[in-house]
Structure formats: C-alpha cells, structure tokens
Homo-oligomer: A and B are copies of this chain.
Amino acid sequence: MAAARKYLKLDQPFPMRRGGSLPSVQIAYETWGELNAARDNAILIFTGLSPSAHAASSALDCSPGWWEDMVGPGRPIDTSRFFVVCVNSLGSVFGSTSPASINPQTGKPYRLSFPILTVEDIARGGYEVIRSLKIEKLRCVIGPSLGGMTVLAFAAMFPDAARSLISISGAARSTPFTIALRSLQREMIRKDPAWQGGNYSADAVPVEGMRLARKLGMITYRSAKEWLQRFGRERASVEHKPDDPFSIDFEIEAYLESHASKFVGQFDPNAYLYLSRAMDLFDLADHGEGSLSEALKRFKLESVLVIGVETDLLFPIEQQQELAEGLSGTGREVNFARLNSLQGHDAFLVDMDQFRPVIGDFLRGL
C-alpha cells in the first residue's frame, strides 16, 4: 500500500441512499499541493469505475497515476496553485469500504450483503473527505465517466460545497443502451460458475467472467474508427492454433486478450458488480422529483465545463450537449467542449493533447 494514500475513517453508521447503512466506512484518498490559509483553493476529483485515488505521482509515491499528465505542478490541474484531492469511490477496492471489505458486525466480507450502492453514496464519501479536511467550498469538483456522473450528484446534494464543476464524458442519467451493456457484463460474471453467488474464495475468483466483462468494456470504451486505424485486418503474431478454429487470429483479438488478462485479479468481481449497477441506477432527475431541469435548478455553481467526445459510444455527445444546455442559467458561465478525439469514451485518458488545454484553460480562468 503506497505511502501517499490517506484514509478517512468514519465510525458512525453511514446511511446508504437506497436503504440500509454501513456500520462504519473508510474512504481512501490522496492529495497534492497545499491548502491555502483561506482553505478555498481545493479541487476534488472523482474517478471512473476502475481507478484508485492515485491520480498522479508525488514525493510519497513516485509511480505514475491514472491521470499523470493532467495533475501536477504546472499541469492543467496545477498543484502549485490548487490543493487537489482524489478519492477512491465508496464501493471500490483501493482502500475504500467495498463489498470485499470485512463487515465489522460479522467478521466476514460483506459480499452481497453490502447495501445497494448509488452514485450519490460515492458523492457523499467524497463530501465527507473534504469536510474532514475542513474545506467548506471547493474551487472545483472534477470527474470523468462514472466520476462525471458523481460530480453531478455532488452538485445536487451539496449545492454549497463547490463553486465550479467539470463533467467529462459523464451523463445526467444512464440510457437503456449502456444499461444493457453493463447488465450483460454483470451477467458474464454472475454466470461464471466460479462466482458462486458472490461467495467465491480469494484463490478461485470468477476470472473467466471478469475477462469477458472487461473485453466488452474495452470494446465499448474506444471507437470503431480508432481500431480501424490501429489494427485494420492485421493478423496476430501469436500462432493460430491449428487444432482450434476459434483461437486468436486477428491482432485486435490478441490486444483484447492481453489487456483483459491484466485487469483480472486487480479488481474484486463483487465490487465491480456494485459499481456497475450504481451507474445504471443513476438519474439526476431523482433530485428534482423526476424532472432533470428541476434537479439542475438546485445547482449553485458559478461556472461549469462539460466535455464530450464525438466518438463516445457510451455517453454520446448528445447527452453532454443536453447537460450543458440544461445547466445554462443567468449569471453562470457554461462551457461545452465538443472534442473530436478518436479514442471514444476513454479519450480523457489518452488524447491528452486535446484534453489538457481545455481543462487547463478553464481552471486558469477561475
């Protein structure tokens, strides 16, 4: 466990939005830069489904973070100016309380006894971290993908806790297309006999189900155009097994296999199921009695940046545009960046040449 990781431990019950509560919770986070005397230069980052709080390297942990090019001194999220906090989502497995954690009341892992997880619970986890740091108002709250949903929940639930917001390839609600894809990913894991109704042992996790689910994720995180350019109809260098007509043949198949295998073992299958389901359940309209525009009226933000990518299959550009339009209001600055990156939903991790200036310009302008 890296030395940069800090923990918020709450020993009182943590009520969950859809019912039930956790007897205690722990939220892992990392920080970069210095909180100023007025405590008003803080930025909070929520992550996508799979990363840890290690967004960038630091003196305490020199390994590169998942957003290394974005966070640091002189980088777009400039840690010489801002105090930056990144939280590991509640329900995720990199130090925060998750279905793989031990339930202190039973001494056993929660597994499926973990209450239903929502994006709102993740937002509350981040809120508790900044409260524990005595930060009353964030300069900005930022999140991509699942994090792009979480910042919206955060702004609706804690309207006084942030002055500005950046939602990247997020969405105000899940569409049936993405619900279908995630539901199928979950089914791949649940249908793996090794899943055992969630009661798999540590040395026999449902690796085949996880590998399939990850492959489907990877296929939908990128764009068909990018793959056409990268792989075309190239054949894999590994030899096609002559006795198995369905073994790996094309380079794209070899690429998916090698990346999916890396992911398996890094992430607890039950935690994956809970976080995936949380995305399906998210609908910002729940904060406006069923009306998205009513929910958006609760936001007290001074400025907003919505970033969308034209090739994003999962959170299509139309959803980003609607969100930006819905957030426009008197006296608020709303920026909508429509990027033509080839890398689809994952572009925020890859196409840094386009993302850096957009995020950097917005934050410099605050």
Q: Which residues of A contact B (CB under 8 A)?
A: 112, 116, 173-181, 183-184, 186-188, 190-191, 193, 208, 212, 215-216, 219, 223-224, 227-228, 230-233, 244-246, 249-253, 256, 273-274, 277, 280, 283, 313, 316
Contacts and interface: CB of A to CB of B under 8 A. Distances in A.
A342 to B, nearest CB: 12
A316 B227 CA distance: 14
Which of A112, A175, A178, A313 gathers most chain B CB within 10 Å? A175
B277 A246 contact: yes
A215 B179 contact: no
A180 to B, nearest CB: 5
A280 B236 CA distance: 14
Contacts of A193: 193
Given A188-B188, A246-B273, A228 B175 contact: yes
Contacts of A316: 224
A176 B228 contact: yes
A179 B283 contact: no
Nearest to A189: B246
Given A174-B233, A245-B112, A245-B116, A184 B273 contact: no
28 contacts: A112-B244, A173-B233, A174-B233, A175-B227, A175-B228, A176-B224, A176-B228, A176-B230, A176-B232, A176-B233, A176-B250, A176-B251, A177-B223, A177-B227, A178-B224, A179-B252, A179-B253, A180-B219, A180-B227, A180-B252, A183-B252, A183-B253, A184-B219, A184-B256, A245-B277, A246-B273, A249-B280, A250-B280
A176 B112 CA distance: 37
A336 to B, nearest CB: 20
A245 B249 CA distance: 38
Stoichiometry (number of copies): 2
Contacts of A219: 177, 180-181, 184
A252 B180 CA distance: 6
Contacts of A256: 180, 183-184
Nearest to A280: B250
A169 to B, nearest CB: 15
Nearest to A253: B183
B273 A180 contact: no
A274 B231 CA distance: 23
A134 B190 CA distance: 54
B116 A180 contact: no
A193 B193 CA distance: 9
Nearest to A190: B246
Given A183-B256, A219-B181, A280-B249, A212 B188 contact: yes
Given A208-B191, A233-B173, A283-B233, A250 B216 contact: no
A251 to B, nearest CB: 8
Nearest to A219: B180
A120 B283 CA distance: 48
A250 B112 contact: no
User: By CB atoms of chain B within 10 A, which of A184, A280, A313 has the most?
Assistant: A184
A211 to B, nearest CB: 8
A52 B174 CA distance: 37
A316 B228 CA distance: 12
B187 A228 contact: no
